[in-house]
Amino acid sequence: MLLRGGAFSGCSAAVGDSNVNRRFPGVIRPPTAVCRPRRVQCVKSVAAGEPIRKPEELSHHASLANRLRLGGFTEDGLAYKGIFIVRSYEVGINKTITIQTITNLLQEVGVNHYQRAGYSTDGFGTTPIMRKLSLIWVVKRMHIEIYKYPGWYCNPNFSLVHSISLFHFLYFSLLFVRNRSDVFEIESWFHIEAIGSRRDFIIRDYVSGEVIGRATSKWIAMNYETRRLQKIPDELRNEVKVYAPKTFRLAFPEENNASLNKIAKLDDPAGYSELGIVPRRSDLDMNQHVNHVSYIGWILESMPQKIINSHELQAITLDFRRECQHDDEVDSLTGSELVVNGNSKSIAKEEDDYPQFLHLLRLSKDANEICRARTVWTGVKNLQKDDMCYN
């Protein structure tokens, strides 16, 4: 399948479609070899008063994986863009990409950003200073809005190229993207704040440039050994701030921003629940705890099936309260949320007029909160027969 992730713009490529051509510089032709990343000088410290330039990228000594990664810095070197194609195993019953996959790719772009800057060689965005101080990043809050889900579709012509090389596979993949599997781009940047960092994302359709989603997230530092939260030290702040935009840039405007809304605690008993969820080994990540993407799956397990069948998730906000380990047992609770005059109130029954829900993940043994969440849903059309794929 198509490999994900390196700066594709550095390669000459080209397809006969004018809409695709305008998205790629130069003439596109089937790639015959791996393109080498361009050499870029290291970024100097802002304190030195020198202009910001792109950080040192891996040269011909880069691994094959890094050279094939479809992504790279923006022109100013202060944001990162990754390009992705929807794969068949990443979609749900509506043949559109799942919210879990989108959240995984947001994390992927953030980590690739740090990697391309020369950091994150052995962790999720960890820097030399962080490794020296045994610090890791953990997500505190996340808000995602999806306006249009990328989809996966059958391609009857793809059987013609089933035996070609990887690089020609990439070429033909781009040739068929217009009306087949969607290709999208995620742009991401970060800012260092007083007690943590903020990372924002914009998701665009790669061909049209249409914004199809946005996300914002808050991250804080935790000591890997003691598992205690820790204030960001000045030496870490100085280490990474050269890669952050000088002007504060947000994916969402601050006014009337749904990502800022407080999540009320769900009243107990809740209208819907999934009790006794046991984390699987595959739910754990390299930070030795359940990854936040697994929380989304647990939240959706307690959603009423009627909503799942007739609606599409439009927005999700997650407020993380504590870690979850492999030997924990978790309860997932869901209830409809009624908003009156801007105030939130949970109700324990399903109402079609209120496609907004409160969620709570808690430990089964002592009811300690793991995560609060809010989801907003919108109606979705049934699949058309022409969209179906038959073998």
Q: Which residues are known to be catalytic?
A: 287, 289, 324
Among 312, 305, 275, 300, which residue's Cα sits nearest to residue 373? Answer: 300
Bridge partners, 318 (sequence order): 142, 373
CB 336: neighbour CB atoms within 10 A? Answer: 23
Strand 311-320 vs strand 330-340: parallel, antiparallel, or unpaired?
unpaired
The Cα–Cα gap between 166 and 343 comes to 54
Q: Residue 363, SS3?
A: strand
Buried b (16+ CB within 10 A) or exposed e, 93-112: eebbbbbbbbbbbbbbbbbb
Contact residues for 40 (Cβ-Cβ < 8 A; gap 6+) = 53, 54, 55, 56, 57, 77
Cβ(37)–Cβ(59) below 8 Å: yes
Continuous segment of H or E residues that includes residue 100: helix 99-116
Query: What beta strand segments (E) does the chain contain?
Result: 71-73, 80-85, 135-146, 183-192, 197-205, 211-223, 229-230, 272-277, 311-320, 330-340, 343-347, 356-363, 369-379
